[in-house]
Amino acid sequence: QKEVEQNSGPLSVPEGAIASLNCTYSDRVSQSFFWYRQYSGKSPELIMSIYSNGDKEDGRFTAQLNKASQYVSLLIRDSQPSDSATYLCAVIPPSNAGGTSYGKLTFGQGTILTVHP
Amino acid sequence: NAGVTQTPKFQVLKTGQSMTLQCAQDMNHNSMYWYRQDPGMGLRLIYYSASEGTTDKGEVPNGYNVSRLNKREFSLRLESAAPSQTSVYFCASKRASTDTQYFGPGTRLTVL
């Protein structure tokens, strides 16, 4: 089982709709979760981080974390064509033997989102 | 501030050739990372440097070496390139006190 898995895409939604992106992770004790956006040919950029169960909202973006079910999701409300990109879920796995993880990220494979006018 | 810079942007190598990918950051970050990105596989960590003077292996270190030259610079070396190393390579950095990593523009490497 992959450590971080995302729902297979590509995902296509009409402009103005809600886009829902999902991610599951295998290690129950993971504590830090991130969503990165990557435009074609560009580098990833962080759009959301979440550490506690529940919802975290930032503008049109809402991240949801459920540690009991080991999933994290990203909702994009009022989707725009400019939201068309690959969305990468990333997790900082737990460190070994009580040490620090040094911020190492484990990424999912990404979900391609297309928002059509 | 330039942020994280990488050179070169594109490179074509023949099997067995060597090269070094350069990365520099001007944000006074402690930690630096090298990832590779292959189609359908997300990003995978090759090596990282938690602080100046330290380096450690990530998920896919075979065939690579790294050098943390100083606090600003972190290079990735391919000693004998193989077609399996064809990929996009990203360097990233972050401050010690946060989890936010900032990525460079990437190097697109093709090994023939």
pLDDT digits (tens, 9 = 90+) for B12-24: 999 999 999 999 9
Tokens of B111: 């090994």
Query: Nearest C-alpha of chain A: how many angstroms from B50?
Result: 6
Q: Could you tell me the CA-to-CA distances from B85 to A74, A82, A109, B62 in Å, in that order?
A: 32, 32, 18, 10
Query: Per-residue confidence of chain A (117 residues) as pLDDT tens digits?
Result: 678 999 878 999 999 999 999 999 998 888 899 999 999 999 999 999 999 999 999 999 999 999 999 999 999 999 999 999 999 999 987 765 555 667 789 999 999 999 999
Is residue A48 within 8 A of residue A34, CB to CB? The reply is yes
Region B1-12: what's the mean pLDDT? Answer: 94
Pairwise CB contact (< 8 Å): B44 & A102: no
Q: Could you tell me the CA-to-CA distances from B96 to A91, A102, B20, B30 in Å, in that order?
A: 17, 8, 26, 6
Q: Judge residue A96's burial from the number of C-beta atoms within 10 Å of its C-beta, 0-12 exposed, 13-18 middle, 19 or more buried.
A: exposed
- Residue A37 confidence (pLDDT): 97
Query: Nearest C-alpha of chain A: how many angstroms from B75?
Result: 17
Q: Judge residue B53's burial from the number of C-beta atoms within 10 Å of its C-beta, 0-12 exposed, 13-18 middle, 19 or more buried.
A: exposed
Amino acid at the residue B10: F
- Residue A31 confidence (pLDDT): 83
With CA atoms as reference, the chain A residue closest to B47 would be A104
Q: Judge residue B11's burial from the number of C-beta atoms within 10 Å of its C-beta, 0-12 exposed, 13-18 middle, 19 or more buried.
A: middle
Pairwise CB contact (< 8 Å): B101 & A103: yes
What is the H or E stretch that residue A50 is in? strand A45-50
- Residue A101 confidence (pLDDT): 66
Pairwise CB contact (< 8 Å): B99 & A107: no
